[in-house]
Amino acid sequence: MPDESVSTSRPRVRRHSWLRVLIPVFLILAWVVGAGLGGPLFGKVSEVSSNDQTTYLPESADATQVQKLLGDFKDSDAIPAIAVFVGDGTLSAEQLSTIDEAITAASKIDGIADEVSPGIASKDERAVQAFIPISSDAELGDTVTALGDELRQAAPDGVTVYITGPAGFSADLLAASPESTGSYWESRCSRCSSS
């Protein structure tokens, strides 16, 4: 009897071993054939689908109306710089006038786009901000440095000038690149010793 049990189990093992090879081969071939036939159609999915979430909203929804109007505000590739003038106290009418003149004069700097905003005073009149677009083809770091130098020189006594916004932030990142890290931090750190 032991001989019969051995002989019946061997063919079963061989059938299972062939199935273990044939099933993965069949699945791989089916996957390759499916990808070959369906692959060219994957590019056409964009014709029938949309990632714009406002397409699922009614026309009267606020998000839909904002999305339609958003294109009207993107007419320029300029990088915005925000000039912030901060006074030691409340800014006088003479200081506000001097700041407005400095902002107007800033439009003559190379790399500054034409549409410089007027100065916008804070409610407590201790600060003024202005939006100054920098041309996208200008050398950002040099233009921001020139803008900051010009505004600081023209600012009245008791007023500190900061250049911030996307242009100021990007210029700081450019200045902090590995090639110029030492000079960048030395120029901005009052506690750094020059050794």
Is the pLDDT at 173 greater than 70? The verdict is yes
Cβ-contact 107, 135 below 8 angstroms: no
Question: How large is the average pLDDT for residues 109-133?
Answer: 91
For 4-25, give the DSSP string: HHHHHHHHHHHHHHHHHHHHHH
Question: How large is the average pLDDT for residues 130-159?
Answer: 91
CATH number of the structural domain spanning residue 162: 3.30.70.100
Q: Is residue 45 part of a domain?
A: no
Q: Is residue 158 part of a domain?
A: yes
Q: Is residue 100 part of a domain?
A: yes
d(CA 115, CA 77): 12
Q: Is residue 102 part of a domain?
A: yes
Q: Which residue has the higher pLDDT, 33 or 52?
A: 33
d(CA 87, CA 95): 9
For the full predicted model, state whether its pTM sits above 0.85: no
Cα angle 158, 160, 166 (rounded to 5 degrees) comes to 165
d(CA 13, CA 152): 87
> 4-18, 116-130, 157-171: which range is least confident on average?
4-18
Kindly state the percentage of the chain with pLDDT values over 90: 36
Residue 165 structural domain: 79-188
Kindly state the percentage of the chain with pLDDT values over 70: 73
Q: Is residue 180 part of a domain?
A: yes
Q: Is residue 16 part of a domain?
A: no
Q: Is residue 173 part of a domain?
A: yes
Q: Is residue 142 part of a domain?
A: yes
Question: How many domains would you assign to the chain?
Answer: 1
